[in-house]
A and B are shown apart, each in its own frame.
Chain A
Amino acid sequence: MANQHPAEQSVSACASNQPIIQVSHLTREVDTGEIRLTILQDINFQVDAGESIAVVGASGSGKSTLLGLLAGLDVPTRGTVFLDGTDIFKLDEDERAGLRGRLLGFMFQSFQLLPSLTALENVMLPLELSGADNTYAHDIAQSWLVRVGLEKRIRHYPRQLSGGEQQRVAIARAFVTHPKMLFADEPTGNLDAATGAQIIDLMFTINREQGTTLVLVTHDEKLSARCSRVIKLVAGRAAD
C-alpha cells in the first residue's frame, strides 16, 4: 500500500478506534562531534490494536532505532509516540520502564536471556519484577514454557539450550505478562531457516490467540508478508 502520509491515512481509516500506537513526526538525530546524523526523519504512522506490522529496510536504515523509540528505550530528537493513549516521552525513564512492564513484550535477535537464570526463571523474571507472588509467577511461567513446547527444558540454563529453544523461552517470557504489544527485533536473525520458520509460526499463533499487537522488525521479505502492514525504511525515511 502506498502511503506518503501514513499517519493521515490511518487516522482516516480507523477514526472510530483509537490506535494503540500512534507515531508523529518522529525524528532521531545523533551528534557525532562534527556532523549531525539523521537516523530517522519525520516518521508518521498508526497501528490499531490487534494489527501486525513489519518494519523492513536494509541494514542501517533505522529499523532498530525506530523499534527502540517505539518501546521508549531511547528518546527522539523530535516527535511523539503514543502507546495505548500515553505520550511516552512525556514520562520519565522510570515511568516508561513501568509502562513497558505493563504493556510490552519483547523478542530480540540475540534472545537476551539472562545466562544465570534457568529457562523457568527467565520467564518468571518479568512477573517477579512486577511484584507478582512467587508461586503464581512459577506456575504461570511453567505453563507458558509448556505452551511453547519446552516442558522438558524448564530447568535448563540458556547455554544448555539451542538457539530455537532459547527463542521459545523468549516467546514465553514476552507473553507471560499478557502484553498488549509485542516488539520483535529480527527474531529469526540468529536462527536457521527451518527453526526460524517454526519460531515465527509459534509467535504468530500465540499473537493471534492473545490478540496482541505485533511490531516486527525484519529484513526478511517472506516474514514481512505475513504481517497485515509493512513500513519500509530507506535511509531513515518511510518509503512506499
Chain B
Amino acid sequence: MSELRLMKGNEALAEAAIRAGADAYFGYPITPQSEVIEYLMTERPEERTGMVVLQAESEVAAINMVYGAASTGKRAMTSSSSPGVSLKLEGVSYLAGAELPAVIVNVMRGGPGLGTIQPSQADYFQAVKGGGHGDYKLYVLAPASVQEMSDFVSDAFDIAFKYRAPVLILSDGLIGQMMEKVVLKDQKDRMPDEEIIKRYGSWATTGKKGRERNIVTSLDLIPEKMEARVHRLMKKYEQMEREDLRYEMIQCEDAEYLFVAYGSSSRIAQKAVQLAREKGIKVGLLRPITLFPFPKQQLLVLAHQVKGILSVELSTGQMVEDVRLAVKGRVPVKHYGRTGGSIHTPEEVLEALEQKIISDGSN
C-alpha cells in the first residue's frame, strides 16, 4: 500500500529499493549516505521480500558484487558518497562495457580528496562525462526532494533494464539528510528466478540450461569487435536522448532571465525565482531531472527568449559548460555556486543574477 511517511532522503531511497522489488543491495558506510545501508539492515528486507543486503569490505567489492548479481539478471544496486563513488568507477565502467543493468547512487559531498562530509554537487563531470575509463555514459537522474529519492529508484531500475545499462542517481548530502514527507510506492514483487531465466536468458549467466552458454564480458580483443560494441553503446545513449529525457520548467513562460539548476541547488534556485519576482524581475528555472540526457533543445529554445542564463550549482561550475554548449552562444551564460560543502542561500543566488547577468554591460 502506498503510504505517507516523514523520512530522510537516504531512508526513503532505501525503503524504495525494497518496494521496487530489488534483489540485492551491496554497500559500504560513508557519510553522508550511511543511512541507506543502516536502514536496510534494520528493516530486514530478506524477510520482507527476500532481498539480499550485504555490507561489503570496500566500495570496490560492493560495485563488483553489483556486477556479479547484475550479470545473472538480478536487480542489484549500491550507494555511496563522492570518495566512495570514485572507487566504484572501475566497476561502473565494466558494467557499461558488459552492458549490464544496475543502479548506483551518489549522495555527493564536497571534494576533491577526502574533502568534507557536507553537501556538494562537484561530481557532475564524473557522473555525466563518463567518470571511469572508456567510451561510455551513464543515464543520470538528479532527485531534488525526498519524494524523488523514493520515486527514482524504480525509475532507475526500469531504465537500467530497458537499456541493459548502469543508471546513476546523483543526489547530494542535502537531499540525503533532510527530512520531508514522502508518499511511498506500493510494494512490487521481486521477479521469480524462473521469470529471470525466461526473460533474460539471452544474455544472463544463470546456468546453461536448454541453451548455449552465456558469457558476460566487457573484453573484445579484436579492435573491430570492440569498436562495434562501443557503437552499440552509443546507439543506446542516442535512444536515451530521444526517449527518456526528463526536465522541469518553472515559471519559464514569461521569463526574461533563466536559472538552470538541478538537485538541491534547484530547490534553492526555485526560492530565488520567487524572491526575484517579488522584486519585479521575471526569472524562470529550468531543472534538468536527467543530467544525461541533458535538455539541450529546451535550453536552446529558451535562449531565444531570455536575456541571460545563470547556472546555479554547488560547485565551481561544471554543468555550466553543458549549458553553454546547448545555447550555442546566443545569450550570456554565467555560473554561480558555493562549493566545498558551503551552501548558497536564495538571496545569494538572486544577488548573483543581478550582478553577473542583469547589470552586466554585455546584455
Chains A and B form a bound pair: no
Binding site for A on B (CB under 8 A): none
Binding site for B on A (CB under 8 A): none
